[in-house]
Structure 1
Amino acid sequence: MILVEADVSEDWDSRTDWPALADRSVRAAVAHSRHAALSDGDAEVSVKFTSDEEVHALNAEWREKDKPTNVLSFPMVEEHELATAPMLGDIVLAHGVCTAEASARNLPIESHAAHLVVHGMLHLLGYDHETSDEDAEEMEEAERRALASIGIADPYH
């Protein structure tokens, strides 16, 4: 069983159970990916709900982009190593960016954050929407299936 460790900063509304959302979203992403067998493994994923400032610093350091972004993924292993990896990686969400995007799309922040966790988890599993149109379509289809399984509408519709 995949262990999901969540860290939630004070920026995120305490009325929402963000660790439960992270757990549900990670499990859905794995179950509806090409690596569904990992659901039975003993790997760990870290999900951090933090500030725009922290994500901005991480984005600048690791991607050389001087701005915050909605979600960052930091895989710990290559895709071919996933089956034996104790730690799959880290997913980091920026509160302000996520909130602004959810508001602009008239979505609950919880639904948008779940989508971003699923998206980030798929990156940890080796999916990459920037390599080709076919890869982007495969990733988006996995996102749709994962989100539907937890009651969230198609974000690309």
Structure 2
Amino acid sequence: MPVEIDNRQKKFPVDTLALSLLANEAQKTLGEAQKNVTITFVNNRRIRIVNREYRGKNRSTDVLSFSYPSPPFPDIPFPDGEILISTEKAERQAREQNIPLETEIVNLIIHGLCHLAGHDHETGPEDALRMKHAERKIAKTLQKVIVKRNLFSIGPQNAPSQIFGKIPD
């Protein structure tokens, strides 16, 4: 499978099978299904170290995305991109928004995958709007998968497209 889930934290349970399914669906919606991506769940301490090392910001964050345009060793399988998600930060944000942790994790996966596909909300308002539209489109697709397969028992009121807002057909 193009998306591999790696849980490196112990504080919160992570349904790696369901999240892998959703991440692969998101990749298809983005037209990036052929890309190999690793999504790693970490704690605040680990994401803070990586954020400091690669972005010069000495604080934890919810999600980091790294794109690898060409593998360092062509003969060795290497991901096209990597996403790190702090489950501790995600849990806090879920509590603040009064949504299930699973919904926030799916939102962060969507956000990270959009970055890997070339979207960037920090380069200007037009780019931010394009990224938000892409996130909403993916969320709408994933909402159908979540409800159809009854993943996480989230329910339609807390599915990702409800969090991102209504998406016109």
Q: Same fold (TM over 0.5)?
A: yes
TM-score (norm 2): 0.77
Query: Could you report, residue by residue, the CA deviation over 1:62-120 in whole angstroms, capped at 9, with x for unpaired residues?
Result: 00111000000011118xxxxxx962211001121110000000010001100101100
Q: Equivalents in 1 of 2:131, 2:41: separation in Å?
A: 23
Amino acid in structure 1 at the alignment position of 2:126: E
Q: Percent identity?
A: 27
Alignment of 1:29-68 (within 5 A): 29-33=26-30, 36=31, 38-39=32-33, 41=34, 43-68=35-60
Structure 2: which 5+ residue stretches go unaligned? Answer: 71-76, 144-158
Q: 1:154 to 1:138 in 2, by over 3 A?
A: farther
2:108 to 109, 116, 127: 116
Q: How much has 1:30 moved relative to structure 2?
A: 2.2
Matched, 1:139 2:147: no
Matched, 1:94 2:91: no
Matched, 1:155 2:167: no
2:23 to 21, 26, 42: 26
What residue is the counterpart of 2:4 in the other structure? 5
Greater RCO (CA < 8 Å, at least 6 residues apart) = 1
Alignment of 1:75-86 (within 5 A): 75-77=67-69
> Which structure has the larger Rg over C-alpha atoms?
2
Structure 1: which 5+ residue stretches go unaligned? Answer: 79-84
CA contact (8 A) 1:128 1:139 kept: yes
Q: How much has 1:156 moved relative to structure 2?
A: 3.7
Query: Could you report, residue by residue, the CA deviation over 1:3-30 in whole angstroms, capped at 9, with x for unpaired residues?
Result: 21111121222xx41x224323322332
Amino acid in structure 2 at the alignment position of 1:145: K
CA contact (8 A) 1:6 1:47 kept: yes
TM-score (norm 1): 0.82
Runs of 4+ in 1 over 6 A off after TM superposition: none
Pairs aligned (count): 142
